[in-house]
Amino acid sequence: MNERTAMTVDSVRQLLEGAGAQVMARSGRSEHYSAPREFSFEVRGVFPNGLELHVVARQFTYRDPWEASGRVNDLVDASLLRDGSFSPLPKGYPFFQGGDEEVGLDEARLSAMVECVRGVNPRLYELQRLTGDLPA
């Protein structure tokens, strides 16, 4: 069976902190099904290169008892922000090309994205803007 690892607010926070980001996190939906929030948790990390990654687990995945216990979050959505606005990554990166959000990320793909965003040199934005590869 293709088993995905469940993610929690703490595991995503640790992933971003481990990559050197300053992190803020909050839980949304509580343990009570009728809680009014539309997300399970959100975590935002600001990297030393000025890029921000906003990770949101929108809803729980319900599994049968033999697969996992109760409700889990095994897929999250992520947005990239630069200077307070949504932004793509410069060309040549596997994420955020032609859009400012990546949806349905499992833990392995989220981890790869965090490493990718952490390693971006912010000067690439200016260089690709000058060459016409990124809009002004």
Q: Are 74 and 106 in contact (CB under 8 A)?
A: yes
The model's pLDDT over 64-110, given as tens digits with 9 standing for 90+, comes to 544 545 555 778 899 999 988 998 888 888 898 877 889 888 899 99
Q: Which helix (H) or strand (E) holds 25?
A: strand 22-27
Question: Mean pLDDT over all residues of the chain?
Answer: 81
pLDDT band at 37 (very low <50, low <70, confident <90, very high): low
**pLDDT higher for 38 or 89?**
89
Say what percent of the chain tops pLDDT 70: 76
- On the question of pLDDT at 56 being above 70, the answer is yes
The span from the CA of 42 to the CA of 40, in Å, is 7
Per-domain residue ranges for the chain?
Answer: 9-130
For position 73, what pLDDT does the model report?
Answer: 73
